[in-house]
Amino acid sequence: MKLFQKMLVAGTALSLIAPVASQASETINLEEMNSYVRSEKASQRFDSDTFQNEVKEGLAKVNSRIDGLEARQNNFEAGGFSDTTVMDGKAVFTVGALDAADSITALNENTVFQYMYVMNLNSSFTGDDNLYVRIKTGNGPKDSDGEKTLPFNETAYGTYLSSANQNGDSLKVDKLWYSMPLGDSITFTAGPKIENYYMHGTTPSIYKPVLKQFTLGGNASAYGASTSPGAGLTWTGDSGLAISTNFTTKSGNSTGLLTDEGATSWATQIGYTQPQYSVSAIVNQKYNNWEDSYFTTSNGKDRTYNDEGSTNIGLRAWWRPQETGTAVPSISVGYDTSETDATSNSNTTMYFVGLNWQDIFSADDRIGLAFGQPQQREDETTDPFAWEAYYQFQVNDSISVTPAVFGSSDRNGTADADVTGAVLETTFKF
């Protein structure tokens, strides 16, 4: 019975398939299809040589693109965002306050929180030249007249911080110049926003200050300058000897360069530098009411407001130990003397001492101590004095924290006109 059922099912299935097969044979030529398939297979026969060449070409393109991406990544990580320019910079947060004598009414004793942000752009087009641009901003407070004063921007009382800036939260070009070699030993530098200091061949001081008055081994008559149009030449010898001469003219774009109307500073420096020490001397001729800078009393500053000009001589030296992490600090010293024929008893003097200890408590930390006499006239009866002390703790390669204290006495030609201050600075470098 089961066998009969199977035979019946099979017969029924064949009867259903037969018409379909018959119709298919009428519409499809099986022989032609087989011939087409064979011809396609023959035309697509694998060519190993061609395949290998194509693979090699493709891999070469991929490797080239990978190398290019790696090079761009490395360049970006190094600070470059173009083929010619490298950028670095920093942001400084400052919290602090002052305590001034009752006789000093110009200083704000309120606690403030201010910042400075700076970007440095160095571009080279030949490999030996350099176009330098510094962009800066900050929110350092000003007085009601918009002057750059209170509390950490005052030069008369020595409270001007190196990190102070008053650009009203607007980015501005702060420095701009171009330098290029003239042969193997001479460098030419010129720019619309530059200071004499940047064109010297010898660094006058290695002390790292908190207050701007302690830069340059005492920022007074000899090295005190102003961001102005200028140009200069620097010769550097193989033995460490360097000679430079340069000029800057205040408001030179409006009064003209080296004119009777423009206040001009012409500085010539000679110095000798070795890895552990340096000595230098500078002569700076100032004309047409050139105003001295930060490390000075009011009388010492005002005596240059004349057409006679002044002759300013500065001596600088620094020394550092071979090893850090010891009780022996690096030492920077400076001395300025200035003479003018404008008035009697108008000659001035200044001295500075700066000490730095490195790697004392932890790697890359720094202790700083500086003191000195601001530039004062010989006939002044007061005895001005200024000082600062700080400890810079390096959190990591990019962040440092610096608590600092500082003060001045008899600073502005007034007895007992004492000022003290304290700040906490946090610096972010990138």
200 or 379: which carries more pLDDT confidence?
200
Environment class of residue 355 by beta-carbon count within 10 Å: exposed (0-12), middle (13-18) or buried (19+)? Answer: middle
In Å, how far are 3, 8, 21, 23, 24 from 15, measured between CA atoms?
A: 19, 11, 11, 14, 15
pLDDT-derived band at 115, boundaries 50, 70, 90: very high
101 or 267: which carries more pLDDT confidence?
267
pTM: 0.78
The pLDDT value recorded for residue 331 is 98
Angle at 30 between CA 27 and CA 32, to 5 degrees: 100
289 pLDDT higher than 90: no
Indicate the DSSP class of residue 158: T
The pLDDT value recorded for residue 394 is 95
128 or 166: which carries more pLDDT confidence?
128
217 pLDDT higher than 70: yes
The pLDDT value recorded for residue 23 is 46
75 pLDDT higher than 60: no
CA distance 245 to 180: 15
pLDDT-derived band at 2, boundaries 50, 70, 90: very low
Q: Which residues of 2-31 are buried (b: 16+ CB within 10 A; e: fewer)?
A: eeeeeeeeeeeeeeeeeeeeeeeeeeeeee
What pLDDT, in 10s, does the model give residues 395-423? 999 999 999 999 999 887 777 889 999 99
The pLDDT value recorded for residue 65 is 76
pLDDT-derived band at 39, boundaries 50, 70, 90: low
Q: What is the mean pLDDT of residues 243-252?
A: 90
Comparing 15-29, 266-280, 288-302, which segment has the lowest mean pLDDT?
A: 15-29
Average pLDDT, the chain: 83
Closest CA to 293 of 396, 196, 409, 174: 196
CA 292 to centroid of chain Cα atoms:
25
Closest CA to 156 of 193, 105, 196, 207: 105
7 pLDDT higher than 50: no
The pLDDT value recorded for residue 236 is 96
Of 133-142, 319-328, 376-385, which has the strongest mean pLDDT?
319-328
Of 64-78, 134-148, 245-259, 412-426, which has the strongest mean pLDDT?
412-426
74 pLDDT higher than 90: no
60 pLDDT higher than 80: no
pLDDT-derived band at 88, boundaries 50, 70, 90: very high
165 or 43: which carries more pLDDT confidence?
165
35 or 120: which carries more pLDDT confidence?
120
Comparing 68-77, 81-90, 161-170, 241-250, which segment has the lowest mean pLDDT?
A: 68-77
Helices (H) and strands (E) in the chain, counts: 5, 16
User: Is 393 within 8 Å of 71 (Cβ atoms)?
Assistant: no
Report percent pLDDT > 70 for the chain. 79
The pLDDT value recorded for residue 251 is 74
User: Is 204 within 8 Å of 223 (Cβ atoms)?
Assistant: yes
Comparing 31-45, 126-140, 368-382, 413-427, which segment has the lowest mean pLDDT?
A: 31-45
372 pLDDT higher than 90: yes
pLDDT-derived band at 141, boundaries 50, 70, 90: low
401 or 253: which carries more pLDDT confidence?
401
The pLDDT value recorded for residue 388 is 98
Angle at 65 between CA 64 and CA 67, to 5 degrees: 65
User: Is 217 within 8 Å of 164 (Cβ atoms)?
Assistant: no
CA distance 47 to 202: 71
Environment class of residue 131 by beta-carbon count within 10 Å: exposed (0-12), middle (13-18) or buried (19+)? Answer: middle
Q: What is the mean pLDDT of residues 34-63?
A: 61
Comparing 27-36, 172-181, 318-327, which segment has the lowest mean pLDDT?
A: 27-36
Which residues have CB under 8 Å from 60's CB, separation 6+? none
89 pLDDT higher than 70: yes
Environment class of residue 370 by beta-carbon count within 10 Å: exposed (0-12), middle (13-18) or buried (19+)? Answer: buried
The pLDDT value recorded for residue 101 is 87
147 pLDDT higher than 90: no
Q: Which fold has domain 86-429?
A: Porin (2.40.160)
The pLDDT value recorded for residue 151 is 83
Report percent pLDDT > 90 for the chain. 53
Q: What is the mean pLDDT of residues 311-325?
A: 95
